[in-house]
Structure 1
Amino acid sequence: MSLIQPFINQKVLVVTMDGRVYVGTLLGTDHSSNMILDKCEERVFSTTGTEISPLGVYVIRGDNLVTIGILDPELDEQTDLATVQADPLPELRY
């Protein structure tokens, strides 16, 4: 059994190798940790606030996954993301 299995049908936050942040309901996963997110949105943080881009159903490749965690829906809805600011991540160099 995958360690991601308990997260199915939960609202999750996913960070990928390129620093992107996705939030959505985890519909499923496979042996390669590829994930399907429903009602997915990308959150882009900047020094002026957070931009939210709705994506709908979205697939994230398992080899691009850095971390995944369950998101508290109540706390997330109480947070005014337009006021959340962050410095951009530096460019990734291999």
Structure 2
Amino acid sequence: MNYMPGTASLIEDIDKKHLVLLRDGRTLIGFLRSIDQFANLVLHQTVERIHVGKKYGDIPRGIFVVRGENVVLLGEIDLEKESDTPLQQVSIEEILEEQRVEQQTKLENEKLKVQALKDRGLSIPRADTLDEY
């Protein structure tokens, strides 16, 4: 096999099923149809997979174009082992509700931490004010 540098080495992965982890934390699963030198991707029959605990749900997204700078991880899915998972698939509505509850819990825990620090005379700068320095 000839060595191909960079994204050219992914040419043989075209038309195979891949998992893509995005910079914002979303997970996409679809068939890789195109890739360029900037790692821009075109995925076909894409689903957005949401994980909460040991449950997951898939939201159909169709054709998905991903700008290369947003790709954190790209990996081929072994079709033989794909269904061999300890996770339980649930409906879209159920996983979205579980995700909402999980995010609400995280927000409440964060507020408790901020209050505990405030009670001790400490504070954490807010992310939106960090650019001012």
TM-score w.r.t. the length of structure 1 is: 0.78
Count of residues in correspondence between the two structures: 89
User: Over aligned residue pairs, what C-alpha RMSD do you find?
Assistant: 2.7
Residue of structure 2 equivalent to 1:82 = 89
Residues 54 and 88 of structure 2 are in contact (CA less than 8 Å); yes or no, is this contact kept in structure 1? no
Percent identity of the aligned residues?
Answer: 29
**Aligned partners of 2:13, 2:20: CA distance in 1, in Å?**
11
SS in 1 for 2:89: helix
Unaligned runs of 5+ in 1: none
Moved more, 28-37 or 42-51: 42-51
- TM-score normalised by structure 2 residue count: 0.57
Displacement of 1:71 in angstroms is: 0.1
Please tell me whether Structure 1 or Structure 2 has the larger radius of gyration of its CA atoms: 2
Correspondence for 1:28: 34
Q: Which has the higher contact order (CA 8 A, sep 6+)?
A: 1
> 1:77: how far off?
3.1
Task: Give deviations 1:15-70, integer Å, cap 9, x for gaps.
Answer: 01111111110000112111000110010001361111011111111000001011
Unaligned runs of 5+ in 2: 91-98, 107-126
Relative to its length, the structure with more helix (as a share) is 2
Q: Where do residues 12-91 of structure 1 align in structure 2 (5 Å cutoff)?
A: 12-47=18-53, 49-79=55-85, 81-82=88-89
Q: Which has the higher strand share?
A: 1
